[in-house]
Amino acid sequence: MNLELLTKQVANLCRASGSFLKNELHNLKQSDVQEKGINDFVTYVDKTSEKRIVADLSKILPEAGFIAEENQSYQRKEKYNWIIDPLDGTTNFIHGVPLYSISIALMQNNEIVSGVVYEVNLKECFYAWQGSKAFLNSHEINVSKAKSLKDGLFATGFPYHDYSRLDDYMEIFIHLMKNSHGVRRLGTAAVDLAYVACGRYEGFYEYGLHPWDVAAGELIVRQAGGAVSDFTGNNNHVFGKEIIATNKSIFGEFLELTKKHFKK
């Protein structure tokens, strides 16, 4: 399999899907917004975008299955599976906040081998494949060279329905507020990870996530020279609902911070 060719095909697919999202925003009405759960929204735009993406990906790699946010009845295959978020940042989207993305990853067996994150409004396409460098619109990117937490800018996502670990989460948040350049919250984990990959952020952490939120971004971070794990330092970050991603210089310091405050 030519992963470079496949990844660039997916990047082009994301650009086309991004145009669809942006065009449909002008047609979206409040009555089109459905609530899947507490503060968890979906629209016909998410669903239509996903159907279009699945159809196009099926042409690129017919033998692959799907793990997708909006329709979890898709068949998962044994060797290859696409992991798709057709609109990461739906809450931003429905409120007209111009920051949302498309995230597509390919998993071979249990390993992510290709990833694309497309930030729609800035037309920034981040991508990487197994063994490659990481790229932003064809230009190579790398993680930040910052050496410590105090020199870094960090990102997170606020929990929107699982508040069981909120106190531990806030302890990390407060520590970073007091001991770094600050903390940002964009509302799309896929873009947060992409920004770590290109050095805009030194690190990102969040819990309560799904595979489609992080699968593409975690590969891009790793191929850009960064480090990714769950809150214990293990590799269960794609399916384990928690992730930290940093440059390698501060990974140990950040991991100790999460271990200290995020208690199991």
Residue ranges per structural domain of the chain:
3-141, 149-261
Instruction: Answer whether residue 39 shows pLDDT above 50.
Output: no
Q: Are 162 and 207 a contacting pair, CB within 8 Å?
A: yes
Q: Are 176 and 149 a contacting pair, CB within 8 Å?
A: yes
Note the Cα 215 to chain centre separation in Å.
6
Instruction: Answer whether residue 61 shows pLDDT above 60.
Output: yes
Span of 77-81, 142-146, 217-221 with lowest mean pLDDT:
77-81
Nearest in space to 93 (alpha carbons), one of 230, 187, 227: 187
Question: In CATH terms, is domain 3-141 a member of 3.30.540.10?
Answer: yes
What band does 73 get if pLDDT is binned at 50, 70 and 90?
low
- Residue 26: the pLDDT is 74
Token digits for 4? Answer: 């470079």
Mean pLDDT of 140-156: 96
- Its CATH class, for the domain covering 149-261, is alpha beta
d(CA 3, CA 106): 10
Instruction: Answer whether residue 14 shows pLDDT above 50.
Output: yes
CA distances from residue 242 to 31, 85, 170, 233 in whole angstroms, order as listed:
33, 17, 15, 11
Half-sphere CA count of 176, side-chain side, radius 13 A: 29
What is the pTM assigned to this prediction?
0.93
Residue that wins the pLDDT comparison between 132 and 75: 132
d(CA 108, CA 188): 25
Mean pLDDT of 139-159: 94
What band does 176 get if pLDDT is binned at 50, 70 and 90?
very high
Provide the residue count of the chain.
264
